[in-house]
């Protein structure tokens, strides 16, 4: 092998080594970058959950007395709730408004699923037991209790949540925690004239008769489950 051939082979080998080294460095950098992004996302999610827990804890302390509870929930304690003695009836077909169209709802989505109950609830783990009790009560009564985060959505979740509100026969809204997403979706459900049951924990000696009303105030999960079961049985009977 002459000197030129030797130098060529050496140059190719060195070039290959440099390219390999650069590739390894780039891969390591990208891998680290991805790890850092995931780590940062995990940290942010942990911080968000911590802040949410603190907010919910403070809110629970704020509504320990009857007076404070009424002040927090004054918009939901209006006559149309407290004096509503009519039975819950099946949803009627929703008007196909421009708002619905602009958010991806198609006319076929307006068909009501008579067994679907959409549960508006904070996604925070603090309220997961509330959700389980509501869902179990729905299942036992022959309905499908569903909340918005049970499916994975790649894009905007709002159109999917809106579709569930539109298609549902009944909305059950857990207003514990005053979660802004729950209250926003509750407002939409009200505007769409959907039948709604509101639930909240009962502060001590709250003087509200809830036997025939849509606002269910409960002391414990056993009581909540029985209340929802009773309401759903009335719904079934009223629409037979």
pLDDT tens readout for residues 68-106: 666 666 655 555 555 555 556 677 778 889 999 999 999
Q: Which residue segment(s) compose the domain that 220 sits in?
A: 74-238
Please name which of 201, 238, 236 lies closest in space to residue 221, comparing C-alpha atoms: 201
Mean pLDDT of the chain: 75
Q: What is the pLDDT of residue 224?
A: 92
Residues 176 and 130 in one domain: yes
* Alpha helices (H) in 151-220, listed in sequence order: 158-167, 180-191
Other beta carbons within 10 angstroms of residue 136's beta carbon come to 15
The answer to whether 91 touches 112, Cβ cutoff 8 Å, is yes
pLDDT over 80 (residue 132): yes
Q: Is residue 143 part of a domain?
A: yes
Other beta carbons within 10 angstroms of residue 172's beta carbon come to 28
Residues 101 and 216 in one domain: yes
Burial class (CB in 10 A: 0-12, 13-18, 19+), 96: middle
Residues 29 and 129 in one domain: no
Residues 47 and 83 in one domain: no
Other beta carbons within 10 angstroms of residue 37's beta carbon come to 10
Residues 136 and 231 in one domain: yes
| Angstrom distance (rounded) from CA 137 to CA 141 | 6
Pick the last residue of a domain from 12, 36, 62.
62
Residues 80 and 56 in one domain: no
Q: Is residue 67 part of a domain?
A: no
Q: If you search the block for the tokens 């997403």, which residue do you land on?
A: 181
The answer to whether 72 touches 201, Cβ cutoff 8 Å, is no
- Chain center to CA of 213: 24
Residues 50 and 139 in one domain: no
Burial class (CB in 10 A: 0-12, 13-18, 19+), 114: middle
Residues 108 and 48 in one domain: no
Domain count, the chain: 2
| Angstrom distance (rounded) from CA 121 to CA 150 | 12
- Largest alpha-carbon pair distance within the chain? 103
Pick the last residue of a domain from 18, 40, 62.
62
Other beta carbons within 10 angstroms of residue 203's beta carbon come to 17
pLDDT over 70 (residue 10): no
Q: Is residue 69 part of a domain?
A: no
- Enter the pTM of the model: 0.67
Residues 55 and 151 in one domain: no
We report the CATH number of the domain holding residue 96 as: 3.40.50.450
Q: Is residue 88 part of a domain?
A: yes
% of the chain beyond a pLDDT of 90: 25
- Across residues 163-189, what is the average pLDDT? 88
Residues 36 and 118 in one domain: no
Pick the last residue of a domain from 10, 36, 62.
62
Residues 89 and 46 in one domain: no
The answer to whether 114 touches 195, Cβ cutoff 8 Å, is no
pLDDT tens figures, 186-209: 889 988 988 888 888 865 544 444
Six-digit token string for 3: 């000197």
Residues 84 and 188 in one domain: yes
């Amino acid at each position: 092998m002459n000197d030129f051939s030797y130098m060529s082979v050496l140059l190719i080998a060195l070039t290959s080594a440099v390219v390999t080294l650069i590739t390894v460095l780039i891969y390591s950098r990208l891998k680290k970058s991805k790890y850092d992004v995931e780590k940062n996302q995990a940290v942010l999610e942990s911080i968000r959950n911590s802040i949410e827990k603190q907010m919910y804890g403070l809110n629970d302390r704020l509504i320990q007395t009857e007076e404070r509870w009424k002040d927090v929930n004054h918009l939901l304690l209006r006559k149309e709730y407290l004096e509503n003695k009519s039975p819950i009836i099946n949803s009627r077909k929703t008007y196909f408004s421009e708002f619905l169209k602009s958010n991806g709802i198609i006319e076929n989505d307006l068909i009501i699923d008579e067994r679907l109950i959409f549960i508006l609830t904070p996604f925070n783990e603090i309220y997961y037991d509330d959700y389980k009790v509501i869902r179990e009560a729905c299942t036992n009564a022959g309905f499908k209790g569903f909340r918005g985060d049970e499916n994975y959505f790649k894009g905007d979740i709002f159109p999917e949540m809106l579709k569930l509100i539109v298609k549902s026969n009944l909305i059950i809204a857990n207003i514990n925690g005053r979660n802004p997403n729950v209250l926003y979706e509750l407002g939409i459900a009200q505007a769409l004239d959907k039948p709604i049951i509101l639930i909240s924990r009962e502060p001590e000696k709250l003087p509200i008769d809830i036997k025939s009303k849509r606002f269910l105030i409960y002391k414990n999960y056993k009581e909540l489950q029985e209340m929802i079961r009773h309401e759903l049985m009335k719904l079934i009977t009223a629409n037979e």
